[in-house]
Amino acid sequence: MAKGIWVIIEHHDGEVRKVSLEILSKCREIADKTGDPLVAVIPGKDVAALADSVAAYGADKVILVDDAKLEGYTTGAYTSALSKVAKKEEPAAIIIGNTAIGKDLAPRLAQRLGAGMASDAVGMEHDDANFLSFKRPIYGGKAFATVSATSKPVVATIRPNALSLGEADAGRKAEVVNEAAEIDADDLKAIVKEVALVASARPELIEANAIISGGRGMKGPEHFAILEACADTIGAAVGASRAAVDAGFIEEKFQVGQTGKTVSPTLYIACGISGAIQHLAGMGSSKVIVAINKDPEAHIFTLADYGIVGDLFEIVPLLTEEFKKLS
pLDDT digits 0-9 by tens, 36-67: 999 999 999 999 999 999 999 999 999 999 99
Across 7-32, average pLDDT: 96
Q: What is the CATH number of the domain that holds 301?
A: 3.40.50.1220
Identify the band that residue 198 occupies on the pLDDT scale cut at 50, 70 and 90.
low
- Nearest to residue 245, comparing CAs of 276, 269, 266? 276
223 within some domain: yes
Classify burial at 41, counting beta carbons within 10 Å of its beta carbon; exposed 0-12, middle 13-18, buried 19 or more. Answer: buried
Residue 68, pLDDT > 70, answer yes
Domain count, the chain: 2
Confidence of residue 293 (pLDDT cuts 50, 70, 90): very high
* CATH code assigned at 36: 3.40.50.620
Residue 192: band (very low, low, confident or very high) from pLDDT cuts 50, 70, 90: confident
Cα 62 to Cα 231: distance, rounded to the nearest angstrom: 37
Task: Verify that 30 and 177 share a domain, yes or no.
Answer: yes
Residue 197 confidence (pLDDT) above 70 = no
Task: Indicate the burial class of 211 (C-beta count within 10 angstroms; 0-12, 13-18, 19 or more).
Answer: buried
Question: Do 36 and 171 belong to one domain?
Answer: yes
Does 139 share its domain with 230? Answer: no
Asked whether residue 199 is assigned to any structural domain, the reply reads no
Residues 167 and 210 in one domain: no
Domain-ending residue, one of 135, 153, 187: 187
Q: Would you state the pLDDT for residue 177?
A: 97
- With pLDDT > 70 as the criterion, what percentage of the chain qualifies? 98
Residue 189's pLDDT band, with cuts at 50, 70 and 90, is confident
Give domain status of residue 85, yes or no.
yes
161 shares a domain with 43: yes
Strand partners, 269: 212, 290
My answer on whether 179 and 252 are in the same domain is: no
Q: Which domain holds residue 289?
A: 205-326
Is residue 214 assigned to a domain?
A: yes
- DSSP secondary structure string for all residues of 138-165: EGGGTEEEEEE-SSS-EEEEE-TTSS--
How is residue 9 annotated by DSSP? Answer: P
Residues 149, 231 within the same domain: no
On whether both 259 and 175 belong to a single domain, the answer is no
pLDDT tens by residue, 311-326: 999 999 999 999 999 8
Q: Is residue 193 part of a domain?
A: no
Please answer whether residues 117 and 98 qualify as being in contact, where contact means their C-beta atoms are separated by less than 8 angstroms. Answer: no
**Bridge-based pairing state of the strands 116-121 and 267-271:** unpaired
Identity of the amino acid at 172: R
Domain boundary among the residues 187, 218, 245 is at 187
Is 79 within 8 Å of 105 (Cβ atoms)? Answer: yes
* Whether 212 and 96 share a structural domain: no
Give the H or E element holding residue 212.
Answer: strand 210-214
What are the tens digits of pLDDT across the range 124-180? 999 988 899 999 988 877 789 999 998 999 999 999 988 999 999 999 999 999 999
Mark residue 293 as left, alpha or beta (left: phi above 0; alpha: psi -120 to 50; beta: remaining): beta
CA distance 32 to 28: 6
Contact 17, 30 (CB under 8 A): no
- pLDDT for position 1: 58
Q: Is residue 194 part of a domain?
A: no
Is the same domain home to 221 and 95?
A: no
Q: Measured between alpha carbons, how far is 55 from 103 in angstroms, rounded to an integer? A: 25
β-bridge partners, 288:
267
Residue pair 263/239 in contact (Cβ under 8 Å)? The answer is yes
Q: Write down the pLDDT at residue 199.
A: 62
pLDDT digits (tens, 9 = 90+) for 228-269: 999 999 999 999 999 999 999 999 999 999 888 989 899 999
88 and 117 in a single domain? The answer is yes
CA atoms within a 13 Å half-sphere pointing along the CA-CB vector of 303? 26
From CA 116, how far away is CA 28, in angstroms rounded? 22
Residues 150 and 210 in one domain: no
